[in-house]
């Protein structure tokens, strides 16, 4: 089988490499020439455990190459970004997906399978993608097998989840779903469930929406508990002892290119109806401001004005700062102009962070943990020894501070 993938980002690159590892001939296409050069040289442009080794393996095997241009193939997989439109309800911007479909049309042949993996608003396949294929003279389900198979892998464990997660394969017709399922049987060991395209679109969105709504509930409970002087972390731990309760973890907000983006796609399609989904977005988006307000309170009687932020990525152990609540906290603090703000993040390679932790905490008055990187979980006695005021505010509730001189505050003990 020959596969042509369009988009070599956080999903497209690992997916392409995984197929190539399983002896499929893969041409990976991206519009960014430096990504193409990097990959063809066997170098990775994103951080993901195990992926560098897998890339080296498929380059060695000769089953993967990156290119600026598509080629004829048996199947095409589109994994390009679907950001929010800048409109009232932040609807789904399909322009990258539709332009990817237009790019492959000249290379299509009867019998090809075309799969969209990008997360898309409900009905996008039926209302926008299928008409493009039909305008090109093909009948979906007869000439071209058109499929939405949403990606569902968790950054940080993509290679494992690509193989072991269940896949939802939504076809425009049953024959499309069957043709799509056959492609994923190459390496997927989870269940491959066939359905129609709009059910697949909506179920993918509901997975991320479920998580966003649950986190919003946890964040709201955190605010309520702080008002009532109750430790929210203990409350959640106790409540989760019930066999049918699974409250998520409160934090500085919800980031990344999935949970902070996808629920709006549903809201935009049914704004009068999707009230809880919209409210959850509002609650999660209020968290950076809540963290800043808490920082201001903690800094009230402190003479020094230096704050060190630990972690800028949207979550732990990744290098992705898209929609990161930590960046929003940093920007809000800087906009106040009251403090000297420093940032330290061992996963971010940029001038916005300081390279050495010792320098970042030197004479600092408050360390604020914003990302749950493993590096921050166990801090030894020396870590905070050169701070001016030894105080840590851990918005991720993950740090184990050994140094008894350090005052440690997390979301559960903020009120004290
Ligand atoms: N977060 C919390 N509290 C929690 C869990 C997460 O505040 O209890 C925050 C994280 O710190 C982060 C954000 O939520 O800022 C999102 O992180 P995440 O780990 O929940 O998810 P993503 O965005 O990295 O990946 C999600 C996954 N979806 C689900 O788990 C339902 C992944 O499987 C999807 O493939 C991915 O979205 C996607 O691409 O849609």
Domains of the chain (ranges plus CATH)?
A: 2-204 (3.40.50.720), 230-416 (3.40.50.720)
- How would you classify the pairing of strands 25-29 and 2-6? parallel
Report the nearest atom of ligand 1 relative to the CA of 314. 15
Instruction: Work out the mean pLDDT of the chain and round it to a whole number.
Output: 97
DSSP letter assigned to residue 153: P
Cβ count near 159 (within 10 Å): 18
Check pocket membership of 155 for ligand 1, CB cut-off 6 A. yes
Cβ count near 233 (within 10 Å): 17
Report the nearest atom of ligand 1 relative to the CA of 252. 7
Check pocket membership of 152 for ligand 1, CB cut-off 6 A. yes
The whole-number average pLDDT for the span 363-390 is 95
What percent of the chain stands above pLDDT 90?
97
Strand order in the sheet with 113-116: 64-67, 25-29, 2-6, 75-78, 113-116, 145-148, 167-171, 192-196
pLDDT at 53: 98
Which candidate, 82, 48, 42, 102, places its Cα nearest to that of 66?
42
The whole-number average pLDDT for the span 335-339 is 97
Check pocket membership of 21 for ligand 1, CB cut-off 6 A. no
User: Are the C-beta atoms of 339 and 349 separated by less than 8 Å?
Assistant: no
Three-class secondary structure of residue 212 per DSSP: helix
Band of pLDDT at residue 23, cut at 50, 70 and 90: very high
The Cα 261–Cα 92 span in angstroms is 9
pLDDT at 380: 83
Report the nearest atom of ligand 1 relative to the CA of 204. 40
Stated pTM of the model = 0.95
CA dihedral 321, 98, 212, 171 (to 10 degrees): -130
CA 264 – ligand 1 centroid, Å: 15
- How many alpha carbons fall within 13 Å on the CB side of residue 11? 21
The whole-number average pLDDT for the span 360-369 is 98
Tell me which of 21, 204, 315, 390 is the catalytic residue. Answer: 204
Tokens of 408: 């440690």
Tell me which of 4, 258, 269, 315 is the catalytic residue. Answer: 258
pLDDT at 9: 96
Tokens of 68: 């600026």
**Sign (positive or negative) of CA dihedral 375, 355, 391, 386:** positive
The whole-number average pLDDT for the span 170-174 is 98
Cβ count near 255 (within 10 Å): 27
User: Are the C-beta atoms of 218 and 277 separated by less than 8 Å?
Assistant: no
Check pocket membership of 153 for ligand 1, CB cut-off 6 A. yes
Which candidate, 30, 201, 27, 29, places its Cα nearest to that of 130?
201
The Cα 213–Cα 223 span in angstroms is 15
The Cα 184–Cα 181 span in angstroms is 5
Helix and strand tally (H, E) in the chain? 15, 15
Cβ count near 276 (within 10 Å): 14
The whole-number average pLDDT for the span 383-401 is 96
DSSP-derived secondary structure for 91-118: -B--HHHHHHHHHHGGG--TT-EEEE-S
Band of pLDDT at residue 128, cut at 50, 70 and 90: very high
The whole-number average pLDDT for the span 11-18 is 98
Counting every residue written for the chain, the total comes to: 416
From residue 200, how far is each of 50, 69, 148, 192, 345 by CA, in Å? 29, 29, 7, 12, 37
CA 29 – ligand 1 centroid, Å: 27
The whole-number average pLDDT for the span 127-137 is 98
Residue nearest to atom 4 of ligand 1 (CA): 249
Tokens of 50: 């195990």
Looking at the DSSP bridge assignments, the partners of residue 170 are 148, 195
Check pocket membership of 248 for ligand 1, CB cut-off 6 A. yes
The Cα 156–Cα 159 span in angstroms is 9
The ipTM assigned to this model is 0.98
Whether residue 416 is predicted with pLDDT greater than 70 in this model: the reply is no
User: Are the C-beta atoms of 307 and 299 separated by less than 8 Å?
Assistant: yes
Burial bucket for residue 128 (CB in 10 Å: 0-12, 13-18, 19+): middle
pLDDT at 415: 79
Band of pLDDT at residue 156, cut at 50, 70 and 90: very high
Check pocket membership of 30 for ligand 1, CB cut-off 6 A. no
The whole-number average pLDDT for the span 55-73 is 98
Residue nearest to atom 23 of ligand 1 (CA): 258
User: Are the C-beta atoms of 341 and 375 separated by less than 8 Å?
Assistant: no
Which candidate, 250, 388, 396, 379, places its Cα nearest to that of 308?
388
User: Are the C-beta atoms of 168 and 203 separated by less than 8 Å?
Assistant: yes
Residue nearest to atom 1 of ligand 1 (CA): 254
The whole-number average pLDDT for the span 183-188 is 98
User: Are the C-beta atoms of 74 and 4 separated by less than 8 Å?
Assistant: no
CA 326 – ligand 1 centroid, Å: 15
**In the annotation, is 204 catalytic?**
yes
Whether residue 201 is predicted with pLDDT greater than 80 in this model: the reply is yes
Whether residue 203 is predicted with pLDDT greater than 90 in this model: the reply is yes
Band of pLDDT at residue 379, cut at 50, 70 and 90: confident
Among 9, 150, 154, name the best residue to mutate to test ligand 1's pocket (greatest count of ligand atoms within 8 A of Cβ).
Answer: 154
| pLDDT, tens digit, 9 for 90 and up, residues 217-263 | 999 999 999 999 999 999 999 999 999 999 999 999 999 999 999 99
pLDDT at 406: 95
Which candidate, 359, 364, 355, places its Cα nearest to that of 391?
364
Whether residue 398 is predicted with pLDDT greater than 70 in this model: the reply is yes
CA 150 – ligand 1 centroid, Å: 15
């Amino acid at each position: 089988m020959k596969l042509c993938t369009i988009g070599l980002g956080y999903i497209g690159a690992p997916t392409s490499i995984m197929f190539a590892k399983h002896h499929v001939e893969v041409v990976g296409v991206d519009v960014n020439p430096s990504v193409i050069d990097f990959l063809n040289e066997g170098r990775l442009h994103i951080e993901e455990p195990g992926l560098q080794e897998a890339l080296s393996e498929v380059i060695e095997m000769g089953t993967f190459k990156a290119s600026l241009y598509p080629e004829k193939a048996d199947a095409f997989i589109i994994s390009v970004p679907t950001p929010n439109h800048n409109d009232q309800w932040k609807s789904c911007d399909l322009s990258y997906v539709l332009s990817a479909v237009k790019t492959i049309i000249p290379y299509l042949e009867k019998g090809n399978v075309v799969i969209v993996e990008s997360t898309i608003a409900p009905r996008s396949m039926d209302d926008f993608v299928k008409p493009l294929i039909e305008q090109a003279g093909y009948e979906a389900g007869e000439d071209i097998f058109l499929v939405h198979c949403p990606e569902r892998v968790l950054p940080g464990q993509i290679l494992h989840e690509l193989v072991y997660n269940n896949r939802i394969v939504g076809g425009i017709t049953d024959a499309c779903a069957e043709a799509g399922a056959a492609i994923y049987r190459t390496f997927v060991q989870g269940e491959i469930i066939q359905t129609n395209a709009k059910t697949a679109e909506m179920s993918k969105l509901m997975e991320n929406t479920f998580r966003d709504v649950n986190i919003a509930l946890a964040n709201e409970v955190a605010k309520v508990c702080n008002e009532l002087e109750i430790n929210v972390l203990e409350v959640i731990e106790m409540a989760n002892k019930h066999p049918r309760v699974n409250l998520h973890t409160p934090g500085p907000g919800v980031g990344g290119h999935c949970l902070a983006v996808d629920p709006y796609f549903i809201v935009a399609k049914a704004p009068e109806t999707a009230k809880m989904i919209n409210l959850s977005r509002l609650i999660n988006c209020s968290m950076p401001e809540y963290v800043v307000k808490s920082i201001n309170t903690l800094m009230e009687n402190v003479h020094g004005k230096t704050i060190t932020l630990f972690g800028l990525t949207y979550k732990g152990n990744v290098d992705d700062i898209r929609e990161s609540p930590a960046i929003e906290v940093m920007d809000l603090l800087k906009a106040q102009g009251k403090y000297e703000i420093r940032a330290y993040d061992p996963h971010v390679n940029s001038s916005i962070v300081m390279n050495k932790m010792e320098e970042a905490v030197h004479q600092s008055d408050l360390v604020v943990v914003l990302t749950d990187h493993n590096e921050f979980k166990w801090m030894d006695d020396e870590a905070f020894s050169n701070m001016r005021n030894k105080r840590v505010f851990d918005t991720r509730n993950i740090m184990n501070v050994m140094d008894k001189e350090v005052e440690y505050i997390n979301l559960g003990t903020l009120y004290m």
